[in-house]
A and B are shown apart, each in its own frame.
Chain A
Amino acid sequence: MPKSKKSEALPEVTPDVVAQHGLTVQEYKRIVDLIGRAPNFTELGIFSVMWSEHCSYKSSRPYLKQLPTEGPRVLQGPGENAGVVDIGDGQAVVFKIESHNHPSFIEPHQGAATGVGGIMRDIFTMGARPIALLNSLRFGDLSDPRTRYLLNGVVDGISSYGNCTGVPTVGGEIYFDACYNGNILVNAFCLGLVQTDKIFLAKAGGVGNPVIYVGAKTGRDGIHGASLLASSEFDETTEDKRPTVQVGDPFTEKLLIETCLELFKKDWVIGVQDMGAAGLTSSSFEMAGNSGTGIEFDLSQVPLREEGMTAYEILLSESQERMLFVVKKGHENEALAILDKWGLDGAVVGQVIESPVVRINYQGKEVVNLPISPVVEGALNLKRPKSKPQYLSEVQHLDLTELAEPPRGDEALIKLLGAPNISSKEWVYEQYDHMVRLNTLVLPGSDAAVMRIPDSSKAVALSVDCNSRYCYLDPFWGAQIAVAECARNIVCSGGTPIGLTNCLNFGNPEKPEIMWQFEQAVLGIAEACKFFDIPVVSGNVSLYNETKGKAIFPTPTVAVVGLLENLENHCTQWFKNSGDAIGLIGLTLEEISGSEYLKQMFERCQGKPPQLDKKQERSVQEFCLELIRGKWIQSAHDCSDGGMAVAAVESCITGPEKALGATLNLESTLRKDALLFGESQSRILISFAEGKGESIARMARKNEVPFAIIGRVGGSRFTVNINGDEFIHQEIQALKNIWKNLIGDYARQVS
C-alpha cells in the first residue's frame, strides 16, 4: 500500500501496483482500452475502488435484476442512496439496510458505529429525517471470549452512535453460530421520513454550479478500506490492513443531519451525495454520472485534518460524516452561512462542467482527468461460474427415527429458553436509546417495532429477519422463509407490508458453490416478494465473508416495512389478561429439521427447512390482520425459533408487567417434540377474551385458515398437556429468569 508521498512523486503503475489495487490484468487492460491511455497512479486508485465488488456489484448485478422493484407506492427503487415508498398524505418513508461486516470484525466499536453513521447518511441524503434504526447482528460461538469482545464492541458502537445522534434504535436481531466465528455480520438499517415533494437525489446539474464540501475534515481514514476489506478474505495478513480503520464522530453526524435538513428547505439546492465508501471519488463520479454532466474540482480547497496528504489520499479517504452538495450558482455564501450556524466545516471545492469528465487539480496541477462512464459503469459484469454445493445432499437428509422422542418437554424447553438465539436480547437493546423523539409505540421486545408517524394517525412497523440455518440447508427456500417470516412479524404488529430492503451476506463469490447459494437466495427473495407483492426498494451486497476458506452460512437478511393506517391498531406479542383464551392460527406439521431444537438437543444442523406454502401464509397473514383491525384479539405472536412452546412462553413473559402463566391443551398425532418445538411456518399464536372464541373460529373457517383454541392464560405456571398427558409443567417466573439474563451474563465475562 502506498505511503504518503508528495503529489509530484507519483509511484509508477507496474503490474505489481495493479495487483495491489485488487485489479486483474484483464481489468487493467480494459481500463486502458476505455480511456485510451494508461491511468496514472491516482487514477488507478480511483478505478480500483470504483470497480471493487463493493461499489460495482460486478458479481451480483445480473442477479439483482430479478428482484421485483416496482409497485404503486414505490417512488424510488434501487439505484439511489435508499428506496422511497409512499405512505399517503404527501409523505414517504425512505429506507435501506447496509453491511459493515469486515470493518466491525477488525475494530468492532468503530466498525459498527461507522456502519450506523453511513446508513443514516444514505437516508438523510435523500432529504428525509432519520426516525428509526434497526440492526441485524451475527456472531460466532458465545462461549468464545473473542465473540464476547466483538459483541461488546459492536453493541457499544451502535449504541454510542445512534444514541448520540438522537435517532432511536428500535429493533433488530442477533444470532450466534460457529459459522460466524471468523466473520461477524453487522447489518444496519435506517428509516427516514420525507415529504414526497422534497425528495433529493444525487444529481449534479447546471453547468457552472458550485460543488460544496460539507462536514468533517478529511484525514487518512480507511484509505482503500472499502475495496480491500470488502473484496478479500481474511487471513494472517489481515493485521496489516488494520491502520485503515475509520473513526466515527456521532456529534458531527448529528450536526450534519440538522444542517442538511435545513439546507434541503432551500430551493437552490440541486443535489447531494454522501461520501461513503470511496469517499470524494465515488460521490463526485456518481453525482455527475447521474446527471450527464462533469465535475471539476480543486483538492487544495478540501478541508484537511492532516498535513502532507496526497491527491490519492484525499480522493480515496473514507473519513466519515462528509457530504457533497451542488447548489445554484450565487447561493454558495448562504450555504456556507448555514454550515457556520451549525459549526461545521465546508468549502466550495469545484463546479459542474459540461463535458462528462471528472477533472481534478491539486497544488496547481491536473492530477486526474477521467471520463465518467468507464469509471462508473465500466466494471465487467462477471459471469462467475456456479454449481450446486456437495454438502447439500448430505445435510438435507434427516431421519426422524434416529432422534429419540423425549418423554417430557421440560428439559428441551429450558434448554431452548436459555439458548443464546432464543433468550432475551434485553442486554443489547437496553443500551440503545429506543425512545428518543417520542415516536416508538412498540419498543424492542415484540415481533416488530412500531413507530408513530409524527403529526398523523399513522404508524410504520419495522422488522429485520433471516434464519441463516434454513438458508444453509436450502438457500432458495430459506430466503423465501426470511421474507415470509419478516412480513409475518409486521402483520403480527398490525402492519401491512409495503416494502423490503435486503442485505445479501455471502462467502467468496469466486467459488462456484457460493455463487450458486447467492443465485438461489436472490431467486428466493424475488419469488416471495412477487408472491406477497412486496417491492424490493433498496439493498446491499456483502461478499467474501470467509476466513481461511470457511464461509458463513448464506445470510440474505431482509427488512420489511409495514404501514398502519391507524396507529391504534397496533398489536404486541404478549398476553394481556388472565383468563384470556389462547389460539393458534396455522398448521403444525411434523417438522424438526433445521430447528433450534435439533441444534440444542441433538447438536445437528440438518434436514430441509420447514415447508412454506405461500398461499396459506398469505391467508394466515390476512386473517391475523383482520383480527387485529377488528379488535378481536389481545396479542399476536409469530411462531419461529423454538416453535409453538417458545412462542407461548414468550407471550407469557415479555410484557412490561409481571409474567403471566398459561396452560396449553393440545390434541395431536404428531411427535410431541415436533408439535411443540418444530418450526412449521405460517403460524401465529393469539390471545383473546374467552367469549370471542367462537366468532374467531367461524371467521377462520370462512377464510379457510386452520385455527384452534389451544389453551388459556393465567396462573403462575406454564403447563402443556398433550392428548391429556402432562408434557411440560414449570413455574413461569423460573422460565423467565432462565430466558432473561443469559446474554448479559455471557457478555460481562471477559475470558
Chain B
Amino acid sequence: MKCGVVVFPGSNCDHDCYHILKHIFELDTEWVWHKDSADLDAFDFVVLPGGFSYGDYLRAGAISRFSPVMKAVVRYAQKGGKVLGICNGFQILVESGLLPGALMQNRWQKFICKPVFTRVESTDTPFTSLCRERPILRIPIAHHGGRYFAQEDTLKAMQDNQQIVLKYCEPGGTVSEASNPNGSMDNIAGVANEKKNVFGMMPHPERSADPLWPDQDGQLIFKSLIQSF
C-alpha cells in the first residue's frame, strides 16, 4: 500500500505523519512536494499534515490552497481518492472547498496544545470504521484556528448526510460546552465531504499513534484507513 505526505512550505507535522505511516504502519510512504502538480493516482491515500503552511498568513490554509499540488489533490479527491487533512491540512481542505465550512480563530484567541477527548459520530467513513467499539478517542490538539463554522443550511445538510464525524466531548463521551476547547460550532472536531473520501480533523492522530507513548487512540484513524482497502 502506498501513501503520500504533502509538504507545503511551513508544514511541520509532515515528519510525524511520515514516521507513523512508514515506521509504525510500515507503509510505502512518499513525500509530495507542494510545487508538484502531477497526478496522485499512484497513491492509495494522501495526507495533508499539520503545521503553519505559508506561516498561516492572511488565514490558515488560504495561500496553500493555491499551490500546484492542491490542483492535483482536488483532481484526486474528485476521482474518489482518499484524503486525510490533519490540523493545518484540515484548514487547507476547507479553504480549497473540498470540505464544507470554515475554520476560525479559537474562541479564546490563543494557541492550545493539550490532549482532548473526541467522540466519533459517524463510523460510516473509511477513516473511522474501526471506532465502532471504541467511539471515544483521546487525541491531542495543537492549533490556533480550529473553531469550526458552517452556515445553517450547510450544517443541516452535513448532519443529514452524516458528514460530522468527530465532536469534542468529555472523557465519558458527553458532548458539552465545557469540553469544547476552541468554541467550535456544535463541538465539531472533524468533518467529511459528501462522498466520505475526504476527511479533515483538528486533533493530531499521529501524536497518539506511536507505541512509545501511553496514548494510542490515534492509531484507530490510520488503521481504519488502511483497512478500508
Contact = CB atoms under 8 A, between A and B. Distances in A.
A436 B16 contact: yes
Interface stretch (B108-116, B128-136, B156-164, B194-202): B108-116
Contacts of A343: 9
A190 to B, nearest CB: 16
A251 B140 CA distance: 23
Contacts of B210: 438
A113 to B, nearest CB: 12
A251 B52 contact: yes
A109 interface: no
A254 B50 CA distance: 14
Interface in B179-229: 204, 206-207, 210, 212-213
B16 A437 contact: yes
A432 B55 contact: no
B44 interface: no
A159 interface: yes
A433 B113 CA distance: 6
Given A164-B52, A164-B56, A250-B52, A438 B110 contact: no
Given A254-B12, A343-B9, A430 B54 contact: no
A12 to B, nearest CB: 43
Contacts of B204: 435
A452 interface: yes
A252 B207 CA distance: 25
B111 A433 contact: yes
Interface in B83-117: 110-115
B155 interface: no
B25 to A, nearest CB: 14
Given A251-B52, A433-B113, A342 B19 contact: no
Contacts of B111: 159-160, 163, 431-433
Given A163-B52, A249-B55, A437-B15, A255 B9 contact: yes
B52 A434 contact: no
A114 to B, nearest CB: 15
Contacts of A452: 212
A713 B142 CA distance: 33
A430 B112 CA distance: 5
Nearest to B52: A164
Contacts of A398: none
Contacts of B213: 441
A552 B22 CA distance: 51
A165 interface: yes
A165 B12 contact: yes
Interface string A163-192: 111100000000000000000000000000
Given A165-B12, A254-B12, A433 B142 contact: yes
Interface string A432-463: 11111110010000000000100000000000
A438 B22 CA distance: 14
B10 interface: yes
Nearest to A169: B113
A438 B207 CA distance: 6
Interface residues of A, number: 28
A436 B12 contact: yes
Contact of B142 (A249, A342, A435): A435
A166 B12 contact: yes
A58 B114 CA distance: 45
B31 interface: no
Contacts of A342: 9
Contacts of A165: 12
A233 to B, nearest CB: 33
B207 A435 contact: yes
Contact of B13 (A160, A430, A436): A436
For A251, A254, A438, the residue with the greatest tally of chain B CB atoms inside 10 Å of its CB is: A438
B66 interface: no
A254 B112 contact: no
Contacts of A164: 10, 12, 52, 55-56
B54 A251 contact: yes
Contacts of B9: 251, 254-255, 342-343
A251 B55 contact: yes
Size category, B interface: 20 to 34
Contact of B19 (A163, A435, A438, A441): A438
Interface string A212-250: 000000000000000000000000000000000000011
A255 B10 CA distance: 7
B51 interface: yes
Nearest to B55: A251
Nearest to B140: A435
B12 A430 contact: no
A269 to B, nearest CB: 22
Interface in B47-69: 50-52, 54-57
Contact of B114 (A249, A250, A430, A436): A430
Contact of B206 (A163, A433, A438): A438
Nearest to A567: B212
A154 B51 CA distance: 21
A448 B142 CA distance: 21
Nearest to A255: B9
A430 B206 CA distance: 19
Contacts of B112: 430-431
Contacts of A160: 111
Contacts of B54: 251
Interface string B37-48: 000000000000
A619 B195 CA distance: 65
Nearest to A441: B212
A339 B132 CA distance: 48
Interface in B114-164: 114-115, 140, 142, 144
Contacts of A156: 110
A250 B55 contact: yes
Given A164-B10, A251-B55, A434 B16 contact: no
Nearest to B204: A435
Interface in A579-604: none
A439 to B, nearest CB: 10
A734 to B, nearest CB: 19
A431 B10 contact: no
A163 B13 CA distance: 11
Contact of A434 (B19, B113, B212): B113
Interface string B8-26: 0110110110010000000
Contacts of A254: 9-10, 12, 52, 55
B90 to A, nearest CB: 16
Contact of B10 (A251, A429, A433, A656): A251
A165 B52 CA distance: 8
Given A166-B51, A250-B55, A441-B212, A435 B113 contact: yes
A431 B55 contact: no
A58 B213 CA distance: 48
A156 B112 CA distance: 11
A250 B9 CA distance: 12
Interface string A149-166: 000000010011001111
A108 to B, nearest CB: 15
20 contacts: A159-B110, A159-B111, A163-B52, A163-B144, A164-B10, A164-B12, A250-B55, A251-B54, A251-B57, A252-B55, A430-B110, A431-B111, A431-B113, A432-B111, A435-B140, A435-B204, A435-B207, A436-B12, A436-B142, A437-B16
Given A436-B50, A452-B212, 9 more contacts: A166-B52, A254-B10, A254-B52, A430-B113, A430-B114, A431-B111, A436-B13, A438-B15, A438-B210
Interface of B: 9-10, 12-13, 15-16, 19, 50-52, 54-57, 110-115, 140, 142, 144, 204, 206-207, 210, 212-213
A-B pairs, 10 with minimum CB distance: A166-B12, A251-B55, A164-B52, A433-B142, A431-B111, A438-B16, A433-B113, A159-B111, A435-B207, A431-B110
